[in-house]
Amino acid sequence: MTDKEQAQKQIDTVNNSNSKTVKKLLLVVIAMFGFGFALVPLYDVFCDITGLNGKTNTTAASYEASAVDTSRLIKVQFITRNAKGIPWKFEPVLNEVNVHPGEIKVVSFYAKNNALHDIIGQAVPSVSPGLAANYFHKIECFCFTQQPLKASEDVEMALQFYVDLDLPEDINTLTLSYTLYDITEKSS
Amino acid sequence: MTTDVIEQDSHDEHHDDSHEHGKMTGIKRWLYTTNHKDIGTLYLWFAFIMFLTGGAMAMVIRAELFQPGLQLVEPDFFNQLTTVHGLIMVFGAIMPAFTGFANWMLPMMLGAPDMALPRMNNWSFWILPFAFAILLGSFFMESGAPNFGWTFYAPLSTTYSNGSTAFFVFAVHIMGISSIMGAINIVVTIMNLRAPGMTYMKMPLFVWTFFITAYLLIAVMPVLAGVVTMLLTDTYFGTSFFDAAGGGDPVMFQHIFWFFGHPEVYIMILPAFGIVSTIIPAFSRKRLFGYSSMVYATSSIALLSFIVWAHHMFTTGMPLFGELFFMYCTMLIAVPTGVKVFNWVATMWRGSLSFETPMLFSIAFVILFTIGGFSGLMLAMTPVDFQYHDTYFVVAHFHYVLVTGSLFSIYAGAYYWLPKWTGHMYNDTLSKWHFWCSLISVNLLFFPMHFLGLAGMPRRIPDYALQFADFNKWVSIGGFAFGLSQLIFLAVVIKCIRGGEKAPAKPWDGAIGLEWTVASPAPYHTFSTPPPQKDIDNADQHEH
């Protein structure tokens, strides 16, 4: 083998291992790009487990409490808030109720479309303190569906819920907050 | 530009590397170049131009904040300035400057003929100007430039965007692709092109820090690309990743962003550790104290950076366990960082020190970066962070680590290797002026910001309450002085390129490293044949 061939062979080996390394690194790049998107469902799972962010159940829960714990009384407060740009009147009929853990309660919220055109609204709930979110179960909620209202139309919307028997001892007050969004454009 | 006759890079036909064949002159030399030294130079000049651009924006910001009330700019334009200032300094100045160092120095320190992937190297530089043309161009569009902060939190950048989101996203995509290509090149070069006999633990610490930084880039830049893509589809294509109305969550944006964002801040400081670890031993005339511990400390900082992101989000409402976890993990980073600081001090201990400009900047780095590190520790404490969050205390903290940290290390490195790059010694008097003016003004600029923050002055606000007026006046004066001082550096560099005292191959008697075994200025092609084992052993940073 001449010197030239030897040198060429050496260059080929280096190029070979270069492209191997590049391929491995590109795989990492693609995997990490995917991981960024995988964080979206992972985040939901994480919130579910930890109750981070006060996320409550987004579909109807069934009643599973074995008894009513009359020894405890939990204060549940209701707050409503309109996101920017939705001219609805939106408020709880009762500002707060007291419930025993395990007891089913029905409360209602009032909404009126003050605009001159039809609007589809969507209420998004959140519970504070965040750790209590996993212990607050909605059996029936207007937030599970979209709420269309014609101009000047109003409606009373129901929320049926119970507080879990396992609610940590140090939590005596829950705040349920609803933010109302205009989703007319998105749902049309 | 000079009319050097240069060699066109080609893998075939390398009979004799010292002979130059293929002519490329003028602009074409720079457009088509695959030479690591040319590309390093391009990166460094680009970074400096971007630094001056972002700096000019900072000058307008400080002029507006010189006194309370609105004087010069509209609040919306002020927001655009703070946003683009941040983006330019992070992605346009600090990161490309470090890539420039990597390009220039890695092959020479490893005894390699060039970077492993020269053609990709050319690409990774030349797409950068387009990214910043898009970003800066948005200033001249109807929407205006991005105004939602460099952290582009949703829904500020989605629902409430001024219409600049698309330009911003595409600019970030291009910057990300450029960084990823640069990082892949660095990793492949270090893994495959080390001179025979240079084991991993014989590599200079400079190389180690770039190796680890490149891995961080490869791991988190794709996540940034992902999050800006979600932002784009949320804003323009009706998805609801971050829109609560559609089942998304704006807080999730912050989690994904900071999962990228925290490793990103180490991307901007680890190479600085490498530069300083090269310079301090040289001017202490000792070997680096605790080389191996430096390698392990750097690696552990990099690993820890992935599990501390939520310390940017203490006030978003996390369970107590989460706050404690992220607080303790963050404080844990102080341990490897402390190891590094003590090692630098121990390197200087009983050394025969001399205070050339690179050493001055390095010592200033050690002291001032430590101050920035301490204010970082304060911010890491959840209970007090509730007070400091989004105040000028945060601004003071990250400018101490990025300006007196990263930027000072870049200056230190530039002065240290300028003789190798240009073949001339820099003007010593001017460089000392640059150092002392910068040192005094930078502290006048950023130190009072701590007090402003503790007193409750919020960041990203064009106006402020009257009681902050005096401090802000001094801060602005410091800002103008610091801005002007950087022009001295420009003068030093231009003078150094044009002429000056001829530099020997090794101008610093205490310096070690393969780069000093080649002539000054470094020939266009170096180490076409690997260096002898003796040179590699001499370049070993371990204490003997």
- Between B358 and A146, the higher pLDDT residue: B358
Instruction: Tell me which residue of A85, A170, A55 sits closest to B251, measured CA to CA.
Output: A55
Measure CB to CB from residue A32 to each of B223, B249, B321 and give the nearest one: B223
| Homologous superfamily of the A54-187 domain (CATH) | Ctag/Cox11 (2.60.370.10)
- How confident is the model over B261-265, as a mean pLDDT? 96
Instruction: Tell me which residue of A174, A33, A28 sits closest to A101, measured CA to CA.
Output: A174
Q: H helices of B65-94, where?
A: 75-87
Instruction: Tell me how many residue pairs between chain A and chain B have CB atoms under 8 A apart.
Output: 103
Residues of B in contact with A83 (CB under 8 A): 245
Joined together, the tokens standing for residue B117 give 């992937």
Instruction: Give residues 55 to 114 of A whose Cβ lies within 8 Å of B.
Output: 55, 58, 83-84
Q: What is the pLDDT of residues B44-54, one digit of tens each?
A: 999 999 999 99
Question: Catalytic positions of B, please?
Answer: 85, 114, 150, 178-179, 262, 264, 266, 277, 311-312, 337, 340, 459
The dihedral built from the CA positions of residue B21, B23, B25 and B29, taken in this order, carries a sign that is negative
Measure CB to CB from residue A14 to each of B192, B241, B256 and give the nearest one: B192
pLDDT averaged over chain B?
93
Q: Do B191 and A83 touch (CB under 8 A)?
A: no
Instruction: Give residues 102 to 121 of B whose Cβ lies within 8 Å of A.
Output: 116-117
Q: Which residue has the tokens 């770039």?
A: B210
Local confidence band at B225 (pLDDT 50, 70, 90 cut-offs): very high
Of all residues in chain A, what percent carry a pLDDT higher than 70?
97
pLDDT for the residue A97: 94
pLDDT for the residue A46: 80
Residue A3 has pLDDT above 80, yes or no: no
Architecture of domain B35-538: Up-down Bundle (1.20)
Joined together, the tokens standing for residue A4 give 């030239």
Joined together, the tokens standing for residue B527 give 């180490």
Q: Quote ipTM for the complex.
A: 0.87
Q: Which of A48-62, A145-159, B405-419, B422-436 has the lowest mean pLDDT?
A: A48-62
Q: How many other C-beta atoms lie within 10 A of the C-beta of residue A24?
A: 13
Residue A188 has pLDDT above 70, yes or no: no
Instruction: Decide: residue A188, CB within 10 A, 0-12 exposed, 13-18 middle, 19+ buried.
Output: exposed
Q: Do A18 and B117 touch (CB under 8 A)?
A: yes
Q: Where are the domains positioned within chain A?
A: 1-50, 54-187
Q: Do A39 and B241 touch (CB under 8 A)?
A: no
Q: Where are the domains positioned within chain B?
A: 35-538
Joined together, the tokens standing for residue B24 give 């490329």
Q: Do A32 and B219 touch (CB under 8 A)?
A: yes
Residues of A in contact with B244 (CB under 8 A): 124, 179, 181
pLDDT for the residue A16: 84
A33 and B CB contact within 8 Å: yes
Residue A133 has pLDDT above 80, yes or no: yes
Phi, psi of B534 (to 5 degrees): -60, -45
User: What crossing angle do the helices spanning B205-236 and B270-284 adopt, rounded to 10°?
Assistant: 160
Q: How far is CA B196 from CA A14, A19, B533, B537, in A?
A: 12, 20, 8, 12
Residues of B in contact with A32 (CB under 8 A): 218-223
Query: Rounded to whole angstroms, how far apart are CA atoms A133 and B316?
Result: 16
Local confidence band at A51 (pLDDT 50, 70, 90 cut-offs): low
pLDDT for the residue A1: 59
Local confidence band at B17 (pLDDT 50, 70, 90 cut-offs): very low
Instruction: Tell me which residue of B352, B204, B345 sits closest to B286, measured CA to CA.
Output: B352
pLDDT for the residue A2: 73
pTM recorded for the entire structure: 0.90
Entry field: residues in chain A? 188
Encode B142-159: b = buried (16+ Cβ within 10 Å), e = exposed. ebbbbbbbbbbbbbbbbb
DSSP bridge pairs for A124: A179
Joined together, the tokens standing for residue B250 give 């704006």
Q: Which of B80-89, B233-242, B269-278, B412-421 has the lowest mean pLDDT?
A: B233-242
